[in-house]
Amino acid sequence: MSRTVLLPIALLAVAVTSGCSMVAPRYSPSLENVQKLKDASVQTTNVGAFESTPTKENPKAISIRGSSLSSPYEGSYGNYLADALKQELSLAGKLAADAGIQVTGALQKNDINAGGFSTASGDIAARFVVTRGGAVRYDQIKSIHDEWESSFAGAVAIPRAQQRYPVMVQKLLAALYADPAFLQALK
């Protein structure tokens, strides 16, 4: 075969066998979440590290129909969650690097299933730990399951799943802020 025939075939083979790599959208704070923090009259808080040890339920990059979705925060979804919490505390006027209260944590589960014909879903679970003066005041795992309209067509389903990730994080933080014990630990 000639080079003019082999080159397009080789390029097509590479395109089909290698999944597309995408980056999740940067986090956009939820105004409802920020208002919840303001209304709770919590003290200024520092956000520490959020671990994200890769496992089957918590992959380094989320697989969406053969495409890879990675975090825009140094490739770490733990950093994604920490930054989301920082943004919302900052907008509520409650973030301070030298605060005596610190929130840390660890991502436990982080997955999106966009394989359905008409719906897709995602799951996130994380451990949140609040310490004050070296003493643990709160240690709980919060999780959410989210579903949205999808499509059989990958050209529709994949971007929808990619755009849904920040909404999933907003819902996880909303579940955290809905826990009176968490808000009490920040007072």
The CATH number given to whatever domain includes residue 127 is 3.40.50.10610
The model's pTM is 0.87
User: For residue 174, is it within any domain?
Assistant: yes
User: For residue 118, is it within any domain?
Assistant: yes
Mean pLDDT of the chain: 90
Give the pLDDT confidence score for residue 2 in this predicted structure. Answer: 54
Give the structural domain span for 73.
21-185
User: For residue 44, is it within any domain?
Assistant: yes
User: For residue 5, is it within any domain?
Assistant: no
10 contacts: CB under 8 Å, gap ≥ 6:
none
Give the pLDDT confidence score for residue 21 in this predicted structure. Answer: 87
Low-confidence stretches of the chain (pLDDT < 50) are 5-18
User: For residue 93, is it within any domain?
Assistant: yes
Give the pLDDT confidence score for residue 107 in this predicted structure. Answer: 97
**Burial track 112-148 (b if 16+ CB lie within 10 A, e otherwise):** bbbeeeeebbbbbbbebbbbbeeeebbeeebebebeb
180 contacts: CB under 8 Å, gap ≥ 6:
none
Number of domains in the chain: 1
Give the pLDDT confidence score for residue 140 in this predicted structure. Answer: 98
Give the pLDDT confidence score for residue 87 in this predicted structure. Answer: 98
User: For residue 6, is it within any domain?
Assistant: no
